Amino acid sequence: MALLSSVWLGRSSSLGLGRLDYNGRHRHRHTHVHAVSSSSSRPYCTASSSSSTSQPLRLIMLRHAAKTNSSKYSDYNAPLSRAGEQEALALGGVLADMGNEWTPQLVLCSNSTRAKQTLQLLTKNMPCLSNAQTEFLGTFYSVSQTDGQTAAHVATSVAQRALTRTRTVLCIGHNKGWEEAASSFSSAKVKLGSATAALLEASAKDWNAIVGDDEAALAAGTCEFGDPDCWAGHGAFQLVRVVSATDALDATLNADNNDGEGEAPFFGGAQGAA
């Protein structure tokens, strides 16, 4: 059994993983994604206690996993679908194994049902998240539907809550705002499907450096006051990579088909600058 399968799916080698279709059904063999056992080794999934201002600021923009399409729920209260639950578990396991750069000291999460459930299931396979300062924000749901406002709101929300030693922040929210914000932060074209996370890095000393108007741009006349792109955080980050649960599940299926041979796959990759 390949390393990815045995570590983050927590299942026996006799079970296969079928590819999920858009209705959450498995096209091939059937299995369930489980949280890993407490005995599983996760050397990288540890809270970083040695953060310093010499380290880059890291912002993880993560879109919630797939929600149910049932009409009996309002959009705000819609829970995850069964496929969405599997997405969140799979993504949490992969991120836990990718290193401390994905380990936040601060988690800001939309207060919607599906966002909270995504965080809960991420934590099952990424236990280090339980060590992070965590806050649920209703505004992360509402602002994500407003054109051009999400990035500045996220930056301000982070700066208001982050300590000086806070170098990595995870923000869980919704499209269309999350794609817009990640793209604005990085000046790259960022696509965030369900259960997809973008890792952004900035060399700023602290989070206050990405809040407020871009005074230099205003003085130079290259943008006007009130322009969504005329703020300090626009283009302040570099897009490092994008990781999705779909990539993780597909990679595990491929590893199973190859009998676990070969190197572990690289997930995502920096998208080209816009």
CA–centroid distance for 162 within its chain: 18
Amino acid at 137: L
- Other CB atoms within a 10 A radius of the CB of residue 207 amount to 25
Backbone φ and ψ of 130, nearest 5°: -70, -15
DSSP state of 156: H
**Burial status of residue 18 (CB atoms within 10 A of its CB: 0-12, 13-18, 19 or more):** middle
- What's the rounded Cα separation, in Å, for the pair 26 and 12? 18
DSSP codes joined into one string, 231-269: BTTTT-SEEEEEEEHHHHHHHHHHHHHTTT-SPPPPP--
pLDDT of residue 56: 92
State the DSSP string of 12-61: -TT---PPB-TTS-BSSS-----PPPTTS--TT-S------TTSPEEEEE
Look at residue 110 in the predicted model and tell me its pLDDT. 98
Eight-state DSSP code of residue 194 = T
- Given a contact cutoff of 8 angstroms between Cβ atoms, the answer to whether 155 and 108 are in contact is no
Closest CA to 175 of 112, 235, 132, 124: 112
Instruction: Give residue 220's pLDDT.
Output: 65
User: Are the beta carbons of 235 and 222 closer than 8 angstroms?
Assistant: no
Cα–Cα distance measured from residue 194 to residue 207, given in angstroms and rounded to the nearest whole number: 27
Q: In sequence order, what are the beta bridge partners of 258? A: none
Q: In Å, what is the CA distance from 193 to each residue of 12, 51, 56, 179, 205?
A: 29, 30, 26, 9, 31
H or E element, residue 94: helix 82-96
> What local confidence, expressed as pLDDT, does residue 235 receive?
85
Q: What does the pLDDT read at residue 46?
A: 54
Digit-by-digit pLDDT tens for the chain (274 residues) are 333 333 344 332 222 233 333 233 333 333 344 444 333 444 446 555 445 667 899 999 999 999 999 999 999 999 999 999 999 999 999 999 888 889 999 999 999 999 999 999 999 999 999 999 999 999 999 999 988 889 989 999 999 999 888 999 999 999 999 999 999 999 999 999 999 999 999 998 889 888 866 666 556 666 665 566 666 778 889 999 999 988 766 655 554 444 433 333 333 333 322 2
Determine which helix (DSSP H) or strand (DSSP E) holds 8, and give its type and residue range.
helix 3-8
132 burial type by CB count under 10 A (0-12 exposed, 13-18 middle, 19+ buried): buried
- The per-residue pLDDT for 12 is 27
